[in-house]
């Protein structure tokens, strides 16, 4: 049996390896595959998926990123009617996706983007790793996202000047495209979208958003997110593609991370709370990160639909 896999930024590689370990063959020729895994069903992908379905192939969706796939909550992105099953990382993702009206069969994979660790408290909140919201592959970033990066950076810089923190900025595709700039006393690192976590593990506090932040939580590193009370968005004004989700009020309290740097005035006090205990975020982690990935159970769930 063969499968075709849209492996977005290698995020799905653990799923691929699980299938291969069970004897399946990962083929680069979708026409020869018996089943297809896709990280999304957006318009750019829908035509190909429809063609696969017409040829009798079963279509499975897996997460595009660490956060639940919210594509179908944007205007003009209806869910495809022939998805065999949607794989998600945790039960909390199912709860959120049901709020936007999805009714496809759901299956939980468990967390597979990195090895999981329990929360690791720190003695102090000194080494801060800031990973801003990164631009798209074409270098564009929406105005709200760029502003969230800028506002977060401006909250961190006074603490650098006071000597209260050591700040490392891990950006992708250039500082300017992230809405940032070079400032005295700040360490800058050019990152890659590769799910690496060595820098995460070395930090006292990670400040970030979406996948990078989710990985930090899964690694047990004290984490503070940004812009969690604002609705998820896609696209860019430059190409007239920018829009917000339509049903944010239905699932905001289910998705939003409890510690948000842009929602509090005293940043240092927020960091100190984050490093001492996971009391404020333990429920969120349980719902949105969930349990570790089990390769055998994943393959078993795939076979259930064949």
Averaged over 27-46, what is the pLDDT?
92
Characterize the bridge pairing of strands 106-108 and 127-130.
unpaired
Is residue 149 within 8 Å of 209, Cβ to Cβ?
Answer: no
pLDDT value at 30 more than 90: no
pLDDT tens digits, 85-114 = 999 999 999 999 999 999 999 999 999 999
What does R_g of the chain's alpha carbons equal in angstroms?
20
**Confidence band for 284, pLDDT divided at 50, 70 and 90:** very high
Whole-number Å distance between alpha carbons of 230 and 18: 36
What is the distance between the alpha carbons of residues 262 and 230, in angstroms, rounded to a whole number? 10
Hey, where are the domains in the chain?
2-115+290-303, 127-280
> pTM here?
0.96
By C-alpha distance, which of 179, 175, 177 is closest to 140? 177
- Would 2-115+290-303 and 127-280 be classified into the same CATH topology? yes
Q: What is the pLDDT of residue 236?
A: 92
Residue 24 pLDDT greater than 90, yes or no:
yes
CATH number of 2-115+290-303: 3.40.50
Tell me, what's the pLDDT at 22? 98
Does the structure show a pLDDT above 90 at 193?
A: no
Average pLDDT over residues 200-227: 98
Collapsing DSSP to helix, strand or coil, 167 comes out as strand
Whole-number pLDDT of residue 137 = 85
Confidence of residue 38 (pLDDT cuts 50, 70, 90): very high
Please tell me the predicted confidence (pLDDT) of residue 296: 98
Cα 289 to Cα 112: distance, rounded to the nearest angstrom: 10
Say how far apart CA 131 and CA 134 lie, in whole Å: 8
Using an 8 Å Cβ cutoff, are 61 and 93 in contact? no
> Quick one: pLDDT at residue 76?
92
Under DSSP, is residue 284 helix (H, G, I), strand (E, B) or coil?
A: helix
Average pLDDT over residues 295-306: 97
Percentage of the chain beyond pLDDT 90 is: 93
Check whether 200 has a pLDDT greater than 90: yes
261 touches 267 (CB < 8 A): yes
Check if the beta carbon of residue 229 is closer than 8 Å to that of residue 152: no
Average pLDDT for 108-131? 98
As a whole number of angstroms, the distance between CA 257 and CA 225 comes to 7
- Report d(CA 128, CA 107) in Å as an integer: 36
Q: In CATH terms, is domain 127-280 a member of 3.40.50?
A: yes
Q: Which of 119, 123, 109 has its CA nearest to residue 299?
A: 109
Model confidence at 122, pLDDT cuts 50, 70, 90, reads very high
State the Cα–Cα distance between residues 57 and 36, nearest whole angstrom: 7
pLDDT tens sequence across 49-78: 999 999 999 999 999 999 999 999 999 999
């Amino acid at each position: 049996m063969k499968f075709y896999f849209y492996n977005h930024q290698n995020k799905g590689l653990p799923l691929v390896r699980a299938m291969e370990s069970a004897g399946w063959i990962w083929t680069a020729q979708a026409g020869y595959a018996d089943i297809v895994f896709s990280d999304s069903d957006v318009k750019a992908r829908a035509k190909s998926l429809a063609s696969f379905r017409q040829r009798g192939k079963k279509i499975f969706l897996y997460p595009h990123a660490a956060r639940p796939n919210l594509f179908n909550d944007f205007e003009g992105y209806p869910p495809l009617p022939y998805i065999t099953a949607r794989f998600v990382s945790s039960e909390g993702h199912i709860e959120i996706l049901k709020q936007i009206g999805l009714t496809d069969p759901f299956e939980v994979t468990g967390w597979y983007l990195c090895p999981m660790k329990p929360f690791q408290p720190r003695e102090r909140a000194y080494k801060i790793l800031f990973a801003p919201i990164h631009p798209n592959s074409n270098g564009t970033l929406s105005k709200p996202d760029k502003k969230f990066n800028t506002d977060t950076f401006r909250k961190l810089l006074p603490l650098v000047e006071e000597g209260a923190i050591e700040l490392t900025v891990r950006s992708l595709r250039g500082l300017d495209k992230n809405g940032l700039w070079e400032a005295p006393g700040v360490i800058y690192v050019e990152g890659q979208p590769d799910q690496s976590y060595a820098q995460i593990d070395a930090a006292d506090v990670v400040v970030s958003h979406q996948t990078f932040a989710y990985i930090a939580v899964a690694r047990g590193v004290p984490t503070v997110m940004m812009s969690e009370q604002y609705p998820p968005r896609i696209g860019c004004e430059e190409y007239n593609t920018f829009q917000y989700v339509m049903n944010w009020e239905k699932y905001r309290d289910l998705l939003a991370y409890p510690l948000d740097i842009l929602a509090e005035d005293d940043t240092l006090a927020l960091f100190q709370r984050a490093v001492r205990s996971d009391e404020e975020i333990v429920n969120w982690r349980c719902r949105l990160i969930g349990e570790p990935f089990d390769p055998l159970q994943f393959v078993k769930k795939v076979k259930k639909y064949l």
